[in-house]
Structure 1
Amino acid sequence: MRLRDLGERALLQKLAPLGYPEGAPLPPGDDAGGVWVGEEAWLLKTDGFLYREVALLGMGPFEVGFRGVAATASDLLSKMGRPLGFTLGLFLPPDLEEAFALELVQGAAEAARRLGAPLLGGDTNAGEEVALTVSGFARSEAPLPRRALPGDLLYLAGDRWGRTGAGIRAHYQGLSLEGFPKILEAALYPLPRRELLALARLPRGGLDSSDGLAETLWQVSELGVRVDLEALPLHPDVLAFAGGEEEALELVLYGGEEFEAVLLVPPEAEEALLSRAQGAGLPLFRAGRVGEGAGVYLRGSPIPRRGYDHFRP
C-alpha cells in the first residue's frame, strides 16, 4: 500500500513499536520516547521538516530555525519533560548564502535559550533544498502519557488557539496581519510553555497539539473515550480576523501549529491544577470532558476528523 493511501497515523502505528523497549516511561507512538535512568525518565524527540513547507509570510531563516526547536520542545513539555538541550541537523544547497545558514541556526539557538536549554551542535549536509531535523532531550520525574478515562476534564493550555490558524490562513490567502500583533507573534514565534512543568503529577494525560486541535482530540478518542466539547476559546482578535464565530471556530479546530498542550485532568485534581496554573502564569481553558463511547463532539454535534498529514494533500 502506498503511503498516500495508508496515511501518516496508520503508518506511525506500524512503525512506533519497532525496536521500542518494554517498560519505557511512555508508550510507543506517544509525542516523545524515553528510557528510565534510575527513578527518572530521560526523554528524546526528533522532528524534521522542509523549509518551504513551514515558512509563512513574514518568516525568514531566523523564524524557521526558531520554529524547529519550538516544535520539538512542545512534544517534550507536553510530556512534562524539562528540556536539557537540542541538536540541529541541516540540509543546505551548496549555492546557499552563508548568512542564511547563520540566521537559521541563530533562530534555533534563541528558541533553545528561551526554553532554558542550550543548542548542542548537530550536523550539516548538502541537499537539493533547505531542510531541518531537530532533536531535543529532556528529563522528567513524572512523564505524562497519552491517557484518558471517562469523567476526566479536558483543558487547553496556552492562548494560541485559533491565532496560529489565523496566521496560516493569512499566509495562504495573502491577508495582512496589521493590527493583529498577538496573531503575528503566535505565527512567527510559537514558543512552547515551560510553565506546564508546574502542573506535574496532576493531569492524567497530555498531548501536544500541532496538527490541529480536532486531530489531537480524535487522537484522545482513540484511547477509548468520547470527547465532548462544551466550549472553545474564541479570542477577540481571532473573531475579528475571521469575521464571525463559525469561521473563528474553524481556525481553532483546524488551524494547526499551536505547539500547545491538551490536558486530561481527573476532577479531583482540578482545583490544584487551576491554582498551580495561576501561580505559574499559565493560561488554561476548560473545554469539556471525556466520557464513555467514541468520537469527538461540540455541543452534541460531531466534529469531522481533519488535520495535517504528511502523506496526504
Structure 2
Amino acid sequence: MRLRDLGERALLGKLAPIGYPSGAPLPPGDDAGGVWVEGVAWLLKTDGFLYREVALSGMGPFEVGFRGVAATASDLIAKMGRPLGFTLGLFLPPDLEEAFALGLVEGAAEAAGRLGAFLLGGDTNAGSEVALTVAGFARAEAPLPRRALPGDLVYLAGERWGRTGAAIQAHYQGRDLGAYPRIREAAFYPLPRLELLSLKGLLRGSLDSSDGLAETLWQLAELGVRVELEGLPLYPDVLAFAGSERAARDLVLYGGEEFEAVLVVPPEGEAQVLARAEAVGLPLFRAGRVGEGEGVFLRGEPLPRRGYDHFRP
C-alpha cells in the first residue's frame, strides 16, 4: 500500500512498536519515547521538516530554527520532561549563504536557552533544499502518557489556540498581520510552557497539540473514550481576524502548530490543578470532559477528524 493511501497515523501505528523496549516509561507512538535509568525516565524526541513548509511570510532562518526546537520541546514537556539538550541535523544547498545557516542555529540556540537547555552539536549535510531535524532529550521523574477515564475533564493549556492557525491562514492568503501582534508572536516564537511541569502528579494524561486540536482529541478518543467538547477559547484578535465565530472556531480546531498541551484532569483534582496553574501563571481553559463511548463531539455534534498528514494533500 502506498503511503498516501495508508496515511501518516496508520503508518506510525505500524512503525512505532518496531524495536521499542518493553516496560518503557511511555507506550510506543506517544509524543516521545524513553527508557528508565536508575528510576528516572530519560525521554527522547526527534522532529524533522522542510524549511519551505514551515517558513511563514516574514519568517527568516532565525524564526525557523527557533520553531524547530520549540516543536521538539513541546512533545517532551507535554510528557512532563524537562528538556536538557538538543541537536540539529541540517540539510543545506552548497550555494546557500553562510549567514542563513548561522541564523538557523542561532534561532535554535535561543529557543533552547529560554527553556534552560543547550545545543549539543549535530550534523551538516548537502541537500537540494534546506531541511532540519531536531532531536531533544529530557529528564522526567513521572512521565505522563496519553491516558483518560470517563469522568475526567479536558483542559487546554496556553493561549495560542487559533492564533497559530490564523497566522498560517494569513500566509496562504497573503494577509498582513501588522494589526494582530499576538497572532504573529504566537506563530513566530511558539515557546512551549515549562510551567506545565508544575502540574506533575496532578494530571491523568497529556498530549501535545501540534497536529491540530481536533486531531489531538481524536487521538485521545482512540484510547476508547468519548470526548465531549463544551466550549472553545475564542480570543478577540482571532475573532477579528476570522470575521465570524464559526471561522474562528475552525482556526482553533484545525489550525495546528500551537505547541500547547491538551490536559486530562481527574475531577477530584481540578481545584488543585487550577490553583497550581494560577500560582505559576499558566493559562488554562476548560474545554470539556471525557465520557464512555467513542468519538469526539462538540456540543453533542460529531466533530470531523481533520489534521495535518504528511502523506496526504
Q: Please state which band the TM-score falls in when normalised by the shorter chain.
A: over 0.9
Cα deviation 1:50-80 (Å, max 9, x = unaligned): 0000000111000000000000000000000
Q: Where does residue 43 of structure 1 map in the other structure? A: 43
SS in 1 for 2:109: helix
Whole-Å Cα distance in 2 between the matches of residues 296 and 173 of structure 1? 30
Aligned to 1:106: 106
Letter paired with 1:54: V
Taking the aligned partners of 2:108 and 2:260, their CA distance within structure 1 comes to 18
Partner of 2:96: 96
* 2:59 maps to amino acid: M
Letter in 1 for 2:27: P
Query: Which amino acid in structure 2 is aligned with residue 121 of structure 1?
Result: G
Note the C-alpha offset of 1:176: 1.1
Instruction: Name the counterpart of 1:201.
Output: 201
What does residue 69 of structure 1 align with? 69
Shift of 1:269: 0.9
After superposing on structure 2, the runs of 4+ consecutive aligned residues of structure 1 that deviate more than 4 Å are none
- 1:92-130 Cα offsets, whole Å, 9 max, x none, are 000100000000100000000001101111000001100
Alignment identity in percent? 82
CA distance in 2, matches of 1:57, 1:231: 31
Q: Residue 60 of structure 1 corresponds to which residue in structure 2?
A: 60
1:300 aligns with 2:300: yes
Q: TM-score, normalised by structure 2?
A: 1.00
What amino acid is aligned across from residue 8 of structure 1 in structure 2?
E
Distance in 1 separating the partners of 2:145 and 2:211? 18
Amino acid at match of 1:141: E
Supply the AA of the counterpart residue of 1:243.
G
Amino acid in structure 2 at the alignment position of 1:164:
T
Matched, 1:190 2:195: no
SS of the residue corresponding to residue 202 of structure 1 reads: coil
* RMSD of Structure 2 on Structure 1 (CA): 0.5
User: Offset of 1:178 from its aligned partner?
Assistant: 1.4
Deviation, 1:39, is: 1.4
Aligned-partner Cα distance in 1 for 2:137–2:63? 21
Structure 2 Cα separation of the partners of residues 82 and 226 of structure 1: 31
Distance of 2:48 and 2:28 partners within structure 1 = 19
1:25-68 CA distances to partner (integer Å, 9 max, x unpaired)?
00000000000011110000000000000000111000000000
Aligned to 1:131: 131
CA offsets, 1:279-312, max 9 Å, x none? 1100000000010011111101111000000000
Task: Please report the TM-score for the alignment, with normalisation by the length of structure 1.
Answer: 1.00
Q: What is the CA–CA distance in structure 1 between the aligned matches of 2:269 and 2:33, rounded to whole Å?
A: 26
How many residues end up aligned between the 2 structures?
313
> What amino acid is aligned across from residue 176 of structure 2 in structure 1?
S
How far apart, in 2, do the equivalents of 1:89 and 1:272 lie?
41
Q: CA offset at residue 143 of structure 1?
A: 0.3
Amino acid paired to 1:16: A
C-alpha distance in structure 2 between counterparts of 1:41 and 1:282, whole Å: 24
Superposed, 1:1-313 pairs within 5 Å as 1-313=1-313
Q: Structure 2: 5+ residue runs without aligned partners?
A: none
Amino acid at match of 1:258: E
SS of 1:293 mapped into structure 2 = coil
- What's the CA shift for 1:179? 1.4
CA apart distance, 1:264: 0.5
Q: How many Å separate the matches in 2 of 1:117 and 1:276?
A: 24
Gaps of 5+ in 1: none
Task: In structure 1, give the amino acid aligned to 2:306.
Answer: R
